[in-house]
Amino acid sequence: MSDIDLTTETTSITRDGTTSGCADFDLALKFLADHREDEALDHFELAIASADDLLVRTSAAAHVAALLLGFARPWEVAAFTEQVRPFDQALANYLDSAVCIQFNDPLGALAFLGDRGVPQPSVDRWFPWSIAAVRAVRARALAAAGRLGDAAYELDIAFSENSESSELWESVARIGADPDIDFDVSPYVARLPERLLPQVFGWLNGSPLAGVDIIAEACWLRFGATHALLAAVSWFAPKVDTKRSLDWTVRISQAGGSACPVLDRSETAGVAPADRVRAGAAGALIDEARGRSAVESAALLLSDDQVEALTTELIALAPEVVDSFVVAAATTTVRSLAIATVLCDHDYAEYALAVLVHGLGLRGADDLNNEQFDILVPLPVRVSLAAKAEAAGDLEVATMLRSVHARKAS
C-alpha cells in the first residue's frame, strides 16, 4: 500500500449503524472491513452506478478515491473527487490534498486544506473522516514545504485533541523518515501511554522503516525493553539496514531477549544477496553457526561483479567468516580467480593459491584467454602466487602463472 491510506479505520457497515440501501455499497464496506481492498474497490465502483441515493454514490466515489490513493494510483483520483466535491467539499479537499502529497506537491496540498485552523468537517456518513486525519496530512505538507515549526505546531494541536489516531502516528513516521528534515519525534512519544505501544506499531505497519526506527528509538529511551517494544523491534529491525539491525540485535541481547534481527535479515529472501552476506557476517559474532550458514547461502546468489568487492569488505570487517564466504562464492573459474587475487592482496597468499588451483580445475577454465587471465590475476599477484606454488612443490601451477604475459599498455 502507498504512503497515503485513508481507509484504515473503517466501521463494519456505516457510522450510525444503518445500511445504505445499496447492496453493492454495503458489500464494499464489508470487504473493506475485512481488508479485501481489491474487492471493495470493485463494489464501490459498482455502487457509483447502482445506488439510488446521491449521498451513497458520493460516498462510494470518495471510497474509490481513497483506495486508489492506497494503491499508489493518484493520477486516477481526480475523476472521483470531482463527483464528491459538489456535495462534500471538505472531503474532496482532504482527498485532493492527499493526491498532492503523493505527487510531492505540498503547496498544492496546503491550497486545499489551508495551513492553519480547525478543518472543515465532512458530512459523509460512511467515510472514516476525522479532524486528526486532516491535520496529519496538513502537517506533512507543512513539513515538506520547509515549515517545520508550523508542522510541529499542527501535530501538537492534533495530539492534544486525539493522541490515539493512526493517521497522526503515520504522519510522525513519514516526517521523521525524511532525510532532509531534522524532526524530533520524542515530544509525541512523550504523550504515548505504554499500553498503546502494540497498537501504535500496528498502525505503523507499512510506514517508512526509517520513521518506524526513529519512533522505536524514542520509545526505547522512554520505556526501555518492554515486551511490546521487543515484539515491535523483532518485527521491523530485520528490514532496516544491517548496521541498525545489528544495533537492535545487541540491545535485545543485552535486555535478555532471544530475537536476532540481524540474522533474520540475513535469511530473508527479499533482502539483496550482498546485504544478506553482510548481515550474516555481522550476526556470526552472536551465533557463528547460523551466521556462517547465512553467509554461505547468500554468497551463492551473488553476481560475478559483486564477489570481489564483498571479499575485500569481509576481510576488513568480518575476517572470521571469510573462509565460509570463499568456499560458497568460488563456484566458477572467474569468481575463484577474482577471489584469489583479493586474498593475495591482503596477505592470504596460501589461501589464495588454494582458491586459484580450485578455480583452474573447474569447467570453463580452458575458455579463459591470456588477456582475461591477466585481468583477473594481475602480474604482481601471479609472481607472488608462483613463488608460493613453487615453495609448495606445485611446479606446474608455478610454471603456468609465470607463462602468462601481461597486457601491453595502451
pLDDT band, very low/low/confident/very high, at 407 (cuts 50, 70, 90):
low
Predicted pLDDT of residue 237: 94
Residues contacting residue 321 through CB under 8 Å, at least 6 positions apart? 280, 281, 284, 288, 291, 292, 295, 314
**Helix (H) or strand (E) run with residue 11 in it:** none
Predicted pLDDT of residue 7: 41
Least confident segment among 31-35, 43-47, 320-324, 385-389: 385-389
What is the number of helices (H) and of strands (E) in the chain? Answer: 24, 0
Report the SS3 class of residue 21. Answer: coil
| pLDDT tens-digit readout, 17-28 | 567 889 999 999
pLDDT band, very low/low/confident/very high, at 138 (cuts 50, 70, 90):
very high
Q: What is the mean pLDDT of residues 272-289?
A: 94
pLDDT band, very low/low/confident/very high, at 391 (cuts 50, 70, 90):
confident
Q: Which domains does the chain have, with CATH numbers?
A: 1-129 (1.25.40), 330-410 (no CATH)
Question: How far is Cα of residue 109 from the mean position of the Cα atoms in its chain?
Answer: 26
Predicted pLDDT of residue 331: 92
Q: How far apart are CA 128 and CA 16, in angstroms?
A: 12
Q: CA dist 59 to 36, 55, 109, 357, Å?
A: 18, 6, 21, 72
pLDDT band, very low/low/confident/very high, at 362 (cuts 50, 70, 90):
confident
pLDDT band, very low/low/confident/very high, at 2 (cuts 50, 70, 90):
very low
DSSP 310-337: HHHHHHHH-GGGHHHHHHHH--SHHHHH
| pLDDT tens-digit readout, 220-261 | 999 999 999 999 999 999 999 999 999 999 999 898 888 899
Pick the closest to residue 295 from 304, 184, 311 (CA basis).
311
100 near 74, Cβ under 8 Å? no
Q: What is the mean pLDDT of residues 44-71?
A: 95
Q: How far apart are CA 188 and CA 197, in angstroms?
A: 13
Pick the closest to residue 350 from 309, 318, 391 (CA basis).
391
Is the pLDDT assigned to residue 89 strictly greater than 70?
yes
Report the SS3 class of residue 86. Answer: coil
User: For 114, left (φ over 0), alpha (ψ -120 to 50), or beta?
Assistant: left
**Helix (H) or strand (E) run with residue 196 in it:** none
Q: How far apart are CA 252 and CA 282, in angstroms?
A: 15
Q: CA dist 333 to 337, 368, 382, 404, Å?
A: 6, 9, 16, 16
Is the pLDDT assigned to residue 5 strictly greater than 90?
no
Q: DSSP state, 271?
A: S
Predicted pLDDT of residue 11: 37
Q: DSSP state, 194?
A: G
Is the pLDDT assigned to residue 393 strictly greater than 80?
yes
| pLDDT tens-digit readout, 197-211 | 999 999 998 899 999
